Amino acid sequence: MARVASLTIGDKKIDLPVIVGSEGEVGIDIAKLRQETGAITYDPGLGNTGACQSAITFIDGDKGYLRYRGIPIEQLAERSNFIETAWLLIFGKLPTRAELDRFAGRLGATAPLYPGFENQFSGYPKDAPPMAILSAMINTISCFNYDLANPDSDEAFEEAAARLISKVRTIAAAIYRMANALTYVAPDPSRSYVSNFLHMMFSKPGAAYELHAEVEDALDLILTLHADHEQNCSTSTVRVVGSSKANLFASCAAGVCALWGPLHGGANAEVLEMLGQIHAGGITADEYLKQVKEKKVLLYGFGHRVYKNFDPRAKILKEASDKVLAKLGVNDPLLDIARKLEELALKDSYFVDRKLYPNVDFYSGIIMKAIGIPVNMFTVLFAIGRMPGWIAQWKEQRDEGGRIARPRQIYTGPTRTDYAPIESRG
């Protein structure tokens, strides 16, 4: 591979350096482009633009590879767990037993919210969107941790990461309790990360949540599979906000807002809505796909900017959905509809030609529904899972000392125009 790319524009010809990544990805470094030619690149949606170099997550969209710090997602799904994976993403290697025990201790110790904090939730309407509250509360916890908002040592970063990863779970459960007029349940330090979340969500006075191992494993798997995904929309948001030297909490609160969108993390809830419409009998799977092809609706849970083959997470979740529902004794017709939609779409040239395959959101909601998570909390669970990835990416950018993100534009508005006094306006 040549180490330069030659570009001719008008009467100018320049050589631009070429960067090659550890997996052979090639990038043309255009840092000098505008200075030497006066031109900028144009790439709406940034599908062809590398915003950074990163050592955290590798995706090969054609081969369907997803690796966290080089480890295939299939191995982590099979042999690791969410908290160990969080450490791997943030600190770059699998933790030793001592590191894992220390981190688990921090997560348990920092799980409770602050005295009086639960009153913050009482002001919201019962039907307030959980993602709006989650973003607000992540910013709010920074007010109680301003000393850790810009952690400047490994020790401080480990504590800040633990506080965010632990408290996002406690906040999520409190949002659910408030929305359902249930009393707030304090965390139980004797429980594991996922077990404590389910306890805070579903325990009742005098009747602590009874944990089933298959439920804990299923939710831990979902969180592990969501933990990072290189430069997706919400992670890029965290990086852009962090590039102004905004603190870790504010950057992750912004990531929650980007994730909320139905084209991104909000898709898991849209999938259930779509399956529900078909199940309600208003429309058949074939008719729904016909509407998709007429561009009236999207096939939620399908398609991806990077994967032009199966999303490996979708394959894992598809297998898990069968096992989890069987173990829980849940027979959900929506799963059958999902499988029917997938079977029809994978045989239909409209989807095959556009390389549209199931993504992480297509099956995750069916498992979360079986566990008892309400649909309006699905994207909140996505945010809980993605928190380690946002933290890892924010740290990587901070450690590299990157410049503030400030893209250019191609201006298409009016050329110079004089101010017109109001009397002369039509």
Residue where the block lists tokens 């979360």: 368
Name 317's Cβ contacts closer than 8 Å, sequence gap at least 6: 221, 222, 225, 360, 362, 363, 364, 367
Residues found in the chain: 426
The residue nearest ligand SDX at its CB is 303
Verify whether residue 361 is a known catalytic residue.
yes
CA atoms within 13 A on the CB side of 362: 29
Q: Which residue among the candidates 229, 361, 399, 418 is catalytic per the annotation? A: 361
Verify whether residue 229 is a known catalytic residue.
no
The least distance separating ligand SDX from the CB of residue 286, rounded to whole angstroms, comes to 15
Partnered with residue 8 across adjacent β-strands are 13
Closest to ligand SDX by CB, 163 vs 226, is: 226
Give a three-class secondary structure readout of the chain.
Answer: CCCEEEEEECCEEEEEEEEECCCCCEEECCCCHHHHHCCCCCCHHHCCCCCCCCCCEEEECCCCEEEECCEEHHHHHHHCCHHHHHHHHHHCCCCCHHHHHHHHHHHHHCCCCCCCCCHHHHCCCCCCCHHHHHHHHHHHHHHCCHHHCCCCCHHHHHHHHHHHHHHHHHHHHHHHHHHCCCCCCCCCCCCCHHHHHHHHHHCECCECCCCCHHHHHHHHHHHHHCCCCCCCHHHHHHHHHHHCCCCHHHHHHHHHHHHCCCCCCCHHHHHHHHHHHHHCCCCCHHHHHHHHHCCCCCCCCECCCCCCCCCHHHHHHHHHHHHHHHHHCCCCHHHHHHHHHHHHHCCCHHHHHCCCCECCHHHHHHHHHHHCCCHHHHHHHHHHHHHHHHHHHHHHHHHHCCCCCCCCCCCCCCCCCCCCCHHHCC
- Largest Cα separation within the chain, whole Å, is 80
Q: Which residue from 65, 168, 45, 179 is spatially nearest to 113, judged by alpha carbons?
A: 168
Closest to ligand SDX by CB, 58 vs 117, is: 58
Q: Which residue among the candidates 199, 226, 229, 304 is catalytic per the annotation? A: 304
Closest to ligand SDX by CB, 187 vs 365, is: 365
> Residues interacting with ligand SDX, by CB under 6 A?
45, 229, 232, 263-264, 267, 292, 298-306, 354, 356, 359-361
Closest to ligand SDX by CB, 10 vs 45, is: 45
The least distance separating ligand SDX from the CB of residue 232, rounded to whole angstroms, comes to 3
The least distance separating ligand SDX from the CB of residue 271, rounded to whole angstroms, comes to 7
The least distance separating ligand SDX from the CB of residue 92, rounded to whole angstroms, comes to 20
The least distance separating ligand SDX from the CB of residue 236, rounded to whole angstroms, comes to 9
Closest to ligand SDX by CB, 170 vs 268, is: 268
The least distance separating ligand SDX from the CB of residue 408, rounded to whole angstroms, comes to 21
Closest to ligand SDX by CB, 229 vs 239, is: 229
The least distance separating ligand SDX from the CB of residue 41, rounded to whole angstroms, comes to 18
The least distance separating ligand SDX from the CB of residue 42, rounded to whole angstroms, comes to 16
Closest to ligand SDX by CB, 292 vs 337, is: 292
Which tokens hold the place of 157? 């970063």
Closest to ligand SDX by CB, 145 vs 359, is: 359
Q: Which residues are catalytic?
A: 304, 361
